[in-house]
Structure 1
Amino acid sequence: YNGCSLNENNFISMYRWHLPDPIAWRKQCRITIQQIAYQKGLVETEDDWSCATFWYEPVPSAPLPPLPDVEARTRDIWQQQ
């Protein structure tokens, strides 16, 4: 359940779905990601991470607000050269 949807201009977008190993919580959850790479030894990296969380409601609720358009959501995704 993983893949790489974009790999260009030194920008890589990857995903992983945790379907067989879900993380359950009741009120809140905190996740810490340690970023380490190997370049002639272990080094800290400065990667940009994001995540999405999906939940299931027992009953329908009020409609969610509309998403911003694609331009607004991707405005700063590419670093200026």
Structure 2
Amino acid sequence: MSDASEVTKAAVVTPVRVAIALCLIAPFVAMLWVGSYAKTDPVFIGIPFFYWYQMLWVLLSTALTMTAYQLWERDRRARRAATSADGGASE
């Protein structure tokens, strides 16, 4: 009986969780790959590419983090609903 409860509580890789991971990892990859943005052209309203690219990622990171959170909450609610509809058999 304890083996079954351990299996149900184990982390499950789902497409939603993969999407969440990609949303959270993308800003790190973009900022750590300095060679992709270590240049001055194109200039945007007088600001070299190096700077405005990083500032753009501040906004993108915020949007991606919010998306990841909303996906996580939706996944959590769905799992809770599934276990309550199951009659608590997995507990």
TM-score normalised according to structure 2 size: 0.28
Compare relative contact order (CA 8 Å, sep 6+) and give the higher one, 1 or 2.
2
Task: Flag the structure with larger Rg.
Answer: 2
Q: Please state which structure has a larger fraction of its residues in helix.
A: 2
